Amino acid sequence: MVKFSYHQRVLPSPPAIDFASDEGKKLFREAFLAGTMVGFFKLICYFQTQSELTYCGLASLAMVLNALHIDPGKTWKDPWRWFHESMLGCPEQLEKVKAEGISFWEVANLALDYGAEVEAFQTSQIDVKFFRRSVKECSSSDNRHLVSSYDRATLKQAGSGHFSPIGGYHEGSDMVLILDVARFKYPPHWVPLTLLWKAMDTVDKTTRGTRGFMLISKPKRDTGLLYTLVWAMLC
């Protein structure tokens, strides 16, 4: 029996523009010089591939928590404390995510559980102007990152519900850079902000609500040291 497999997929372009293409680099250059790629630098240091096909939400979260230098308070591989997707949630929750994926609010709650400050918005609560303002703010600083929950089909991509962090904004073309954590499928790419808005403004069958985005930042008081002391005393 012939079994099909894929070595990446062709990025539907338009609407997307490959980050590492000549056009993608031109957008990067202009956005960088305009000051809307500030958040990119911290975020790209921790860009990762989702380790399971249903872990896009967990991978996006691990990436942002590491970029914010939040201390997980427990070790990944002794002696290193580091956020890996397999550490997010209890074993039962991880099994569920592996089988079914994860919902928007579950990702937001996990971010809270690990000490981040989170503001989560469904598209039904806000408008595209608010989204654009949030993208611009996150792209112009490095202390807050935006994770988008969207429907791939709207972007003409293979698949459906997906999560990924946003790595930058190009004002002239009103495009955002998606740091797609399914790197085995598509490279990072620019898409029109209004199209990403439409892709977020879709109903998730699980929550029966619209998708949206969340802003994740480091808490003013980092509880990592406290966790570490408790951890050290228990070992």
Binding site for its own copies (CB under 8 A): 1-8, 19-20, 24-25, 28-29, 32, 41-42, 44-49, 52-53, 66, 69, 71-72, 75-82, 142, 183-185, 187-188, 224, 228, 231-233, 235
Kindly state the smallest distance separating residue 119's Cβ from its own copies, in Å. 23
Q: At 152, is the secondary structure helix, strand, or coil?
A: helix
The one-character DSSP state at 162 is: E
Catalytic, out of 162, 170, 201, 204: 162
Give the shortest CB-3-to-its own copies separation in angstroms.
4
**Catalytic annotation on 162?**
yes
Q: Is 84 a catalytic residue?
A: no
Closest Cα partner for 62 from 120, 117, 107, 95? 107
- We find the least distance from the C-beta atom of residue 114 to its own copies, in angstroms, to be 13
From the list 180, 189, 201, 204, the catalytic residue is 180
Q: What is the dihedral of CA 208, 211, 213, 219, to 10 degrees?
A: 10
Is residue 78 flagged as an active site residue? Answer: no
Phi, then psi, of 206 in degrees rounded to 5: -70, -50
- Of 187 and 209, which CB lies nearer to its own copies in the complex structure? 187
Q: Which residues pair with 161 in a beta bridge?
A: 151
* Sequence-separated (6 or more) residues with CB below 8 Å from residue 56: 50, 101, 162, 163, 164, 181, 182
Shorter beta-carbon distance to its own copies: residue 81 or 132:
81
Answer whether 170's CB lies under 8 Å from 184's CB. no
Provide the minimum distance between the beta carbon of 129 and its own copies in the complex, in angstroms, as a whole number: 29
Q: Which long-range contacts (CB under 8 A, 24 or more apart) does 48-51 make?
A: 48/181, 48/183, 49/181, 49/182, 49/183, 49/184, 50/85, 50/181, 50/182, 51/84, 51/85, 51/86
**Contact partners, residue 106, CB within 8 Å, separation at least 6:** 57, 93, 97
Cβ proximity to its own copies: between 137 and 142 the closer is 142
Kindly state the smallest distance separating residue 67's Cβ from its own copies, in Å.
Answer: 9
Q: Closest CB to its own copies among 56 and 108?
A: 56
Is residue 173 within 8 A of residue 156, CB to CB? The reply is no
Q: Which is nearer to its own copies, 69 or 133 (CB)?
A: 69
Catalytic residue among 56, 170, 189, 201: 56
Catalytic residues: 56, 162, 180
